[in-house]
Structure 1
Amino acid sequence: MPTTPGEIQTILPLCAVAELEIGTPRRVIAEGMPPLAVFRLEEGFFVTNDTCTHGEASLCDGFVDGDEVECPWHSGKFCVRDGRPTAFPAVEPIKVYRTYIVNDQVCIEKPGNSPHDEAAAPIDHGAQP
């Protein structure tokens, strides 16, 4: 698990911490990435793909309840911590990204540049590198 900037291969800043409200996701478009959803919860920051795996809707248009986001189209739900579906018709998980706070910016490790890209790897939500 990386703990210093030298151990993080490539970080990708997404948005300022101050721009996020608890429980209100923000859609972010970053070069070379699918649309992303940035979540600020009481216990930290979480980043997932923004597109529902069931119906192609933007999860940022959905409802956040605790650590779950509900798709606005068909009411499927996902846990934003690990991406697992928590309510039908969602059955395929959404991708989650290792998340850091660097210089008051929410950042992720750019996929393909880290040994931590595997879905089973733990995620440091809002950790300082």
Structure 2
Amino acid sequence: MTIRLCATHDIPEGEVRQVELDDGRMLAVYHLDGEFFATDDLCTHGDASLSEGEIEDGKILCPYHMGSFDIRTGEACAAPCSIAIRTYRLRIDQDDVLLAD
């Protein structure tokens, strides 16, 4: 099943946006180095929306405690974050960013 998340032009290069799925899950969708990535939006360390964080060197910084995660792999990269976030496979179809989950 393929789900449309947004249009490619909705997320400028180097930015992140929150997308809510029909089932209530919240994803963070990133435009990084010409590619699109998606992770769970909720930080595994605390109740923080990662889409409100800053992107730095391929990582998303949690806005609450400044821990970070690798955008491509979901790996926790800096304390206090120690549990990875889930990543999602995406594909681009013309101007649409699609969740290929």
The 8 Å contact of residues 41 and 66 in structure 1, kept in 2 or not, is answered as: no
Q: In structure 1, how many angstroms separate the alpha carbons of the residues matched to 2:3 and 2:53?
A: 25
| Counterpart selection for 1:26 from 1, 9, 17 | 17
Matched, 1:41 2:32: yes
Matched, 1:68 2:59: yes
Q: In structure 1, how many angstroms separate the alpha carbons of the residues matched to 2:92 and 2:47?
A: 29
Q: What CA RMSD, in Å, does the superposition of the two structures yield over aligned residues?
A: 1.0
The 8 Å contact of residues 84 and 94 in structure 1, kept in 2 or not, is answered as: yes
Within 5 Å, which residues of 2 pair with 1:46-57?
46-57=37-48
Q: Which runs of 5+ in 2 are unaligned?
A: none
Q: In structure 2, how many angstroms separate the alpha carbons of the residues matched to 1:107 and 1:49?
A: 15
**% same residue:** 37
Which 4+ runs in 1 deviate beyond 6 A?
none
Q: In structure 1, how many angstroms separate the alpha carbons of the residues matched to 2:6 and 2:31?
A: 12
Amino acid at match of 2:73: D
2:7 matched residue in structure 1 = 16
Q: Which runs of 5+ in 1 are unaligned?
A: 1-9, 111-129
Q: Deviations over 1:29-87 (max 9, x none)?
A: 01125100000011411000101000120001111012100000001100010100000
Matched, 1:95 2:86: yes
More strand by share: 2
TM-score between the two structures when normalised by the length of structure 1: 0.75
Q: In structure 2, how many angstroms separate the alpha carbons of the residues matched to 1:23 and 1:72?
A: 16
Number of equivalenced pairs: 101
Matched, 1:83 2:89: no
